[in-house]
Every structure is written in structure tokens, then in C-alpha cells.
Structure 1
Amino acid sequence: MLGEDLTSSAATVWKMNTILKYMMIFIVTCFVGVIVFYQTSIQSGTNVAFMETPSLKQCMQKSKNSKTLKFRENHGCLEILANSDICQDGLLVPKLVHYIFLGKTNFSFFFLLSVLSSYRILKPGFIFVHTDTTIEGKWWDHLLDLVPNIVIIETDKVTQVFDRPVAIVQHQADVMRIQILLKFGGIYMDSDELALKSFDPLRIYPITMGHCRADALGVQVIIASKHSKFLKIWYLTYKTFTDKSWANNSQYMPYKLSLILPELIHKERMGSFAGFRGGVTDFFTKTKDWSKSYGLHLYIRLQKVQTSSPEHIKTLKSTYGEIARFIYYREKKIIS
């Protein structure tokens, strides 16, 4: 009987040890798999809700052969980047620039100049490019060689706001730029807006916008803290949004609000961001003083000149020519 009990006990111990052995193998295999998945997800931009918060160093790891960081729009790394010391320097508005590209995009040299001007003149920690498409083309490829801190954010375009349909792409971008600034804060730039001098003097205000008309504020540049009360109130006015009304919510509404709540917004004069006195085509045909302006909106869709290049701007005698050389070649004078 004693021998049988010992044999039975030994068999039980052997079974338990075998079970524990395979359990340990399973646990180790799962742990290694999770670590590999986690590292891959950080690089690919996959959301990993069940993992601990990644570090800034992990978030800044680029995928192999990639010149940019890339994440889905709700990835946790985006707020880590935006809230890091790279973007936060003590001013109300972070050193973070945003662009939006929706639908098929013909990425032109004008767009390259815009992003390059943001990088060289505004000196942001990161440039967030929010897009629902894959941006391609020779000028995009060239831009990636010139600007190392671009972050691609794969997003879905807005199709409704407060249950109201938004079908026109320009209106979709109008809504998205407010939503983006409410989430991250920073500087929104239109893709054909050229930065001419530092916006730092304006980053001390909760929000800054410039006049595009006497009775309207332009949205080609918005400099805002994510805590801006004006921005939050403005967004709530989209509860009455309709696609049929062009620029009502985006330009006329913030101007009306600025009259009611002047203490919540800093407004810049007409020529600060939108352009100069005269027609919008004057940028390409005349030379005007731009030393007092923060930026220039090219209004590309209204121009006869639809293409440009590094060679084209070398000898161009116009405001655009001077500014383009200043941004691209760091030289305003004609290059022979």
C-alpha cells in the first residue's frame, strides 16, 4: 500500500511539473509576442489600448525606410508628442503646426513652400499632416528630404458635425481644423499659406486670427491653445451649420463672436496673414513690401499661375518670387 501511495504521489508530482513547465512556456511565448506586437504597433501607428503608455522615445521611432512618423488619428503617441518639451516651451500655444489634406492631392511646389516655410521660419517641434489619403509626388518626396519632423496622421474626413451633414470638402476642413486645435492646440496653416516671420509674439494669446475682410476673420491661419474659450464657443455655433451657407460659420461667425467676446481673442489686421492691399493676383505680377506681414495666402485656386519650381522662382520679379526665394534658397535677391 505504501509503495502504491509513493508511486501515485510521484506520478502526481510529475504531472504537475509537466503542466507547470508548459504553462511557463506558454506565458513566456505570449509575453514575447505582446512585446513584439507592441513595438510593431508603435512604429506602424496601431492603437494599443491595453498596453501601458509608451514613452516619447518609443513614439519617435520611425519604421524602417520611413522618413516620417505615422499614426492613426486617435493614437496615444500623438498627444505624447504634442505635450512633450519639443512642442511645449512655456507659451500658451505649443510649437506645433497642423496641415489638412483631404481627397486626392496634387502636391505642388506651392504646398512644399508652405510646409518648408513653417519648418524654417516657425520652427515647430512637429508638423502634423492630417490626411485621409496617401500623399505622393516628386514635390512631396523632395519635401521629406528637407523637413525631418513631419508626422503623418491617418484620419477620416468629417461627414457630420452635431448630427448635421457636412458634404463640401472645404467645410469638412473648416470643422476639422477646429477639432484638431481643440485636441492639440498649435498653429493651423492652409496648404497655400506662406509663413514670413516667427509667430512667437502671437503664441502668448489663447487664440489669434487675422482679418480677411472687414467683416470676417480668415481661417488660413489659426493660432490657438487647446484651452481657448473662444475656440470652444465657436465650435458650438456649428450646431446651426448648413452646407448651403458658404463661410458663414468659418469666417463671419468668428468675427461676430469677436465683437461680443473681444477679451477672448487677439485679432490681427487685414494684411497679417491674408495678403496685401490690391488684387490677389498682384502677388505674381507686382512687388510689394511684405516685411510687416506674418504670412501670405497665395489663393492658388484663383491664380493664373498654377505651377512653380525652384528654377521658376530664381528670376521671378514679384512678391511671390521674392518670398519663394527667401523660403527655398534663403535669399530674396534674384538668382542668376
Structure 2
Amino acid sequence: MYKGFRVKALLICFVWVVYNAVSLQSTRFSKVVTDFETNPVSQRSASIVGTKQIKNENCVKPANAKSHIICETLPFQKPACRNNTEGLVPNIVHYVWIGNGTLEYYHYISILSVATNHKPDKMIFHINDVVPQGELWFNLVAQIPCLEVSYLQAPTQIYGNRISDTLTQTDVARFQILLKYGGIYLDSDVIVLKSLDPLRQYPFTMGFNGVRSFSMCMFSLSSSRIPVGAGAILSTPNAKFLAEILNGYKNLTKIRNGAAFFSCHRPRSLALRRKDLPIHIEETSMQRPNMWADGKSVDLSNFDISNNYMLHIHPRSNVELLSKWRANQIRIHDSTYTAAARAALFGTQDLVFLREEAFRATDRKTPIPTKLYLYNETRRKKQDRPPNLLLKLPSRVV
């Protein structure tokens, strides 16, 4: 009898604990939902610095939230195109796709981001064989009204020098396309975070990679060999700087690791030595962060990209494990890559929770700032330096 009484008492205690837990959770949920229903977006506090307030009555930012929002449904941005003739650089975005590869989800995010965050006049996919494989390509065609396909003959020689590797063919193709038409070239793993119009005011723009970056650039860790990255370029037609880069291919067979030299080292050398050539170099907003310059890959890190124009995923292998993720996983995962992906999909780097998940909504971890530094190979330590000591590459228009 005593044993039966003890079992009943334990059962009553268990039920009481469960009831109180459910009641507490329900109270928390009701508070957030009430806040959601009684405070329209226009009355909420602005988003954290560097992110974009969702212009959608579907979502709100709770009063105590710093970097998350709560939505009725996922607030997908609508891709769009526009006719914008302001600026020196044509508002046309070029991609080069050589071969018959499959379009992965991070490619999809990259291309979509141009239409959601920059809104070009036209997006041209230059292909030498077939369009990218997979259903995601056809999704893009259906979503982006100004996406076009143009066939190109993959370069097999330049200035009499034979080209056989895909990397050099892609480099030469992008330079020749920009020299002829001008516009914006992007690798298919560059996620655009905001309008590139401010950069279109310069005749030629590239991004600084960081001392230890190997993005298309295999080089020694000497601090004097600071490359720029060819994964994102803005250029006017017949740009003088671009013409000089292509002239260097006359010596293609004489240069070891020519692909890296002509796409990264030659631009750096020209920027330092040819003061008559107009160029603008972005220090951290186009090619940083990256795992070699910043020590962590974009899938595992949480860098501050609030002031970036774009995030270049290099190497792409960093996000291969995440390539199967879709919007439902990306919206609540906190990393540099997923923050950029949310900016492309939803127009905000904040975490996105649905209304029924409001009780467990959390903020992002504090992002790590991207630093400029020199790397001392002998001492193996980072030395913080002012930007003017690290890079003497001012914007100049000739």
C-alpha cells in the first residue's frame, strides 16, 4: 500500500512539473506573439548596424532582439532588374561557365544575390558548351527576367601561347569580355550583399585578397607580395588597366604558375608601378574574409561582413558540406556563409525564425571584425598595421 502511495505521489509531482513548464513556455510564447501582433514593422527599432531592415509586414524585430527577426512566413526577396546608366561601368554582370558542371545551391545563391541586392540591367552567362546542369539553373531562368546566355569559344591561345587548362581559359575569357563590353565580372561563388553602384563610379576596380590568400594565387608569404583577386572585377570598356593585364600574357609560357601570376600578381604589380593606370582597390569589402588571410573558413566562422559589398567563397570546398542546405536550414544557422546567404534570400543577415518558433528565437553571436595585418613568416605572428602602411594603392582616376 505504501509503495502504491509513493508511485502516485511521484506521478502527481511529475504532472505538476510538466504543467508548470508548459505554462511558462506558453507565457513566453504569448508575450512574443502579442508583441508580434501589436507592433508593425514601421514602429520597430532599426536593424543592427550592417544589416538591412526587412521591408515586409510579414516580419518584425522583437524589442529585445539584436540580430534576429520573427516572420509569419519566410520573407523571400523578389529578384529584379533595372535600367541604370549612371556610372562609368555598364550595369551588366558577366559570368563565365566553361564545361558542363552542375549548378550547386551556393552557385544559385550567388547568382540570385545579384538580382536581389544589386539589380543589374542584364546578367549574361557566357558558356562554351551547355548551360549549367540541374533544376536550380531553370529556377534562376524563371526568377530573373534579365538572365541571358551567350555562347563563347573557350580561348585556346593568346599571343601565340597555347592555353589548355580551364583556369587560364576562364581568366583570359573574363578579361577579354570586360575589355570589349565592360561591366561587372563575378565568379559563380561570389555572393553580392548590397548594390555595387558606388564601385561603378571608378573606371576599374578589384579587391585586395590579404597577405595569405591563395584565391587563384599561389605565392610566397612575403609581405611585399600582396595580390588582388580576379574573382570580382568592375571595368569600363577598353579599360587601360585591363589592356595591360592582357598584354602580360605575351610572356605566358615564361612564367611559372602563369594562371595565378596574370590574374593576381600582375594586377598588383601594375597598381604599384604604373601610376598612370587608373584603378580602385577595395581593401576588405570584396575578397575578405578568407581562410588564409583570416584563419577560418566562411562555413565555420562568424566574421563581420556588414560593410562588405560581397562575400567570395574561396575555396569553394569550404561550403561543400552545406551545399545541400536550403533556405530552411540557412535561416537559423549562424556563420559567415549563411549570413551572406540570408542577405541574398531575405535581404537581412539576421537569423530568421517563424512565428511558431518565437519562444526559442536567439541572436547571432557577435561577429569577428576583419583586420588588416602583415604576416611575418619567420616570427609566425600577426602584426596589426594601419591600412596606409599595409597598402599603398590609392584610388586614382587618370
Q: Normalized against structure 2, the TM-score is what?
A: 0.60
Are residues 1:301 and 2:297 paired?
no
**Aligned-partner residue type, residue 236 of structure 1:** N
Label 1:205 to 1:333 Cα distance change in 2 as closer, same or farther (>3 A): closer
Label 1:262 to 1:301 Cα distance change in 2 as closer, same or farther (>3 A): same
Cα distance, 1:296 vs structure 2: 0.7
Task: Provide the residue aligned with 1:325 in structure 2.
Answer: 342
Task: Provide the residue aligned with 1:126 in structure 2.
Answer: 122
- SS of the residue aligned with 2:249? helix
Are residues 1:180 and 2:177 paired?
yes
Task: Provide the residue aligned with 1:229 in structure 2.
Answer: 240
Stretch of structure 1 that moved more, 239-248 or 211-220: 239-248
1:116 to 112, 119, 131: 112
Task: Provide the residue aligned with 1:257 in structure 2.
Answer: 270
Cα distance, 1:309 vs structure 2: 2.0
Are residues 1:103 and 2:88 paired?
no
- SS of the residue aligned with 1:94? coil
Relative contact order: is structure 1 or structure 2 higher (C-alpha 8 Å, sep ≥ 6)? 2
Task: Provide the residue aligned with 1:279 in structure 2.
Answer: 295
Alpha-carbon distance in 2 for matches of 1:178, 1:87? 24
Cα distance, 1:190 vs structure 2: 0.4
- Indicate if the aligned counterparts of 2:117 and 2:195 stay in contact, CA closer than 8 A: yes
Alpha-carbon distance in 2 for matches of 1:292, 1:183? 31
2:149 to 138, 152, 156: 152
Deviations 1:252-291 (A, max 9, x none): 001101112234233334422112251351x212222111
> 1:3-22 residue pairs with structure 2 within 5 A?
none
Task: Provide the residue aligned with 2:63 in structure 1.
Answer: none
Task: Provide the residue aligned with 1:80 in structure 2.
Answer: none
Alpha-carbon distance in 2 for matches of 1:269, 1:93? 16
- Indicate if the aligned counterparts of 1:87 and 1:94 stay in contact, CA closer than 8 A: no
Larger relative helix fraction: 1
- SS of the residue aligned with 1:100? strand
Alpha-carbon distance in 1 for matches of 2:296, 2:206? 19
Alpha-carbon distance in 1 for matches of 2:345, 2:176? 31
Alpha-carbon distance in 1 for matches of 2:87, 2:283? 25
Are residues 1:189 and 2:186 paired?
yes
Gaps of 5+ in 1: 1-85
Alpha-carbon distance in 1 for matches of 2:228, 2:276? 16
Alpha-carbon distance in 2 for matches of 1:87, 1:256? 36
Gaps of 5+ in 2: 1-81, 212-225, 354-398
Cα distance, 1:87 vs structure 2: 5.6
Alpha-carbon distance in 1 for matches of 2:348, 2:84? 30
- Indicate if the aligned counterparts of 1:192 and 1:300 stay in contact, CA closer than 8 A: no
Alpha-carbon distance in 2 for matches of 1:197, 1:182? 25
Stretch of structure 1 that moved more, 322-331 or 150-159: 322-331
Q: Normalized against structure 1, the TM-score is what?
A: 0.70
- Indicate if the aligned counterparts of 1:207 and 1:264 stay in contact, CA closer than 8 A: no
- SS of the residue aligned with 2:177? helix
Stretch of structure 1 that moved more, 88-97 or 302-311: 302-311
- SS of the residue aligned with 1:92? coil
Are residues 1:206 and 2:237 paired?
no
Structure 1 segments of 4 or more deviating over 6 A? none
Alpha-carbon distance in 2 for matches of 1:124, 1:304? 26
Alpha-carbon distance in 2 for matches of 1:240, 1:132? 25
- SS of the residue aligned with 2:148? strand
- Indicate if the aligned counterparts of 2:210 and 2:288 stay in contact, CA closer than 8 A: no
Deviations 1:19-64 (A, max 9, x none): xxxxxxxxxxxxxxxxxxxxxxxxxxxxxxxxxxxxxxxxxxxxxx
**Aligned-partner residue type, residue 178 of structure 1:** F
**CA RMSD across the alignment:** 1.9
